[in-house]
């Protein structure tokens, strides 16, 4: 349903389907008591949580472990004036279970950054406690 503002609200399943189609989003968190936004590649896990891959010593892993964060991804077509945006809000945490870590090494997101072989990989899981989205479709000039 289109509202007066030209946007259509997306349900949870539509949001998750759209997230699965893109590779890059932004994690929104608090850094030194200020809002911070970091573009990251990601994947969705089987439980619909957002997965990020980073090094063990990363500032991001320290900043978000145990914190409530937001994650946003979108896609826009300026020519057609259409697009969508999805926000996942939930608690973030570093995956600490060894079996889960091993599974994510095989199935989780791959880093776009070159990582040295001796660097320990960490995975960050953002629970999908709240998933919201909206779509803008083909507005006339």
pLDDT at residue 4 in the model: 55
Question: Looking at residues 24-48, what average pLDDT do you find?
Answer: 95
Question: Looking at residues 21-50, what average pLDDT do you find?
Answer: 95
Which residues, at least 6 apart from 29, have a Cβ–Cβ distance to it below 8 Å? 35, 36, 38, 60, 63, 64, 67, 69, 70, 92
Domain 7-136 sits in CATH at 2.30.110.10
Mean pLDDT of the chain: 89
pLDDT by residue (tens digit) across 94-126?
999 999 999 998 888 887 666 655 457 889 999
* Residue 87 clears pLDDT 90, i.e. is over it: yes
pLDDT at residue 125 in the model: 97
Domain parsing of the chain, residue ranges? 7-136
């Amino acid at each position: 349903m289109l509202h007066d503002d030209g946007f259509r609200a997306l349900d949870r399943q539509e949001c998750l389907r759209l997230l699965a189609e893109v590779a890059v989003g932004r994690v929104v968190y608090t850094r030194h008591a200020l809002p911070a936004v970091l573009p990251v590649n990601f994947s969705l896990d089987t439980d619909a949580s957002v997965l990020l891959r980073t090094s063990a010593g990363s500032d991001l892993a320290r900043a978000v472990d145990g914190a409530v964060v937001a994650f946003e991804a979108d896609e826009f077509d300026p020519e057609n004036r259409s697009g969508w945006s999805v926000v996942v809000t939930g608690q973030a945490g570093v995956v600490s279970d060894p079996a889960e870590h091993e599974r994510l090494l095989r199935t989780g997101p791959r880093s776009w950054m070159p990582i040295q072989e001796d660097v320990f990989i960490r995975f960050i899981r953002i629970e999908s406690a709240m998933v919201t989205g909206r779509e803008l479709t083909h507005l006339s000039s």
